[in-house]
Structure 1
């Protein structure tokens, strides 16, 4: 087994175990048994368990954000894409084995003791918020709307993970729709570059 194959097998096993059972309850022996990669090779690839956790989160981040972007991009209307984020969350929450947000879970377990894990979690959340900001700009909405949508999405993730239901995504989508319809988030009006002069004003 070459190193690239061994690494993927180790990460596949680590992801299933870490996400399904929690990081702290899983040891390197568990990953060895599930992956078929020897303990010696495992430690050659990941000298510390922390490195394996970070690699698992990095790989999952790439896949997670790609799946979200692919789903949202199916909608040609920029404003509809904002709501499509919550459509995708609803599909994700309904997947078998869903246990909430992997990054929130990892931060809850290791954020206070592992700066590497905390940094990876923050990088993922910053990227997600930046993605929402880009969608908001494409829809010609005020940039502060991105922060509100971000909080709705994050709250839905936490609630869905705890309650084991996809309903928080639908509720968050309803709230997002209300925000889009609110006066404070209306599209900026198009203004003329120069003020118009009426015939009465021209006579003054």
Structure 2
């Protein structure tokens, strides 16, 4: 991991945890590995995070915020309301490609820690609710054909993106996300 000048210790720790938790999993990542790869003292880690679960929560919270900012920035580049909806699928395809089709960070964290830590589960649920709310806003403003209600189209897009990410992870390709995009294109 490339160290940035002026990077805070907290960011350094979370950056390291993000890489490790996403790539090898929360349960397989030991706190000593985070300390070693972040190149910090053990006391520094515990000064900022009381436990490994607190570190996971901080990573999920930051990832949630950054993820939302990235997708909104991408959508806002599109002037056409219908294209804004379709851009979601392109964004998800590109993110999966850049992350080597390893799936959704939120789902991965949920599978390992969401059942045991209510805070982690709540943050993951908030992230997914925020995504669904973003889709709903775009659906309402899209002027779609009304073959489905706004709520039905929102649910369909949400479930198709979530399923497309799972398929991308399993088949190591983004074709299913692009197929979902083509279906939604017919409905809007």
TM-score, normalization by structure 2: 0.89
Structure 1 residue aligned with 2:124:
121
1:102 aligned onto 2:109 = no
Give the one of 167, 171, 185 matched to 1:177: 185
Give the one of 155, 170, 181 matched to 1:162: 170
Which one has the largest radius of gyration?
Answer: 1
Q: Quote how far apart the aligned CAs of 1:91 are.
A: 1.1
Structure 1 spans left out of the alignment, 5+ residues = 181-204
Structure 1 residue aligned with 2:161:
153
1:111 aligned onto 2:114 = yes
Aligned equivalents of 2:68, 2:177: Cα separation in 1: 17
CA RMSD, Structure 1 to Structure 2 (Å): 1.3
Aligned equivalents of 1:51, 1:61: Cα separation in 2: 15
Structure 2 residue aligned with 1:53:
56
Aligned equivalents of 2:161, 2:82: Cα separation in 1: 16
**Other structure's SS at 2:98 match:** coil
Deviations 1:88-135 (A, max 9, x none): 111112114441100011111112211111111101000000000110
Q: Quote how far apart the aligned CAs of 1:156 are.
A: 0.7
Deviations 1:166-198 (A, max 9, x none): 212111112212332xxxxxxxxxxxxxxxxxx
Q: Quote how far apart the aligned CAs of 1:71 are.
A: 1.1
Number of residue pairs matched by the alignment: 177
Q: Stretches of 4+ moved more than 2 A in 1?
A: none
Structure 2 spans left out of the alignment, 5+ residues = 1-6
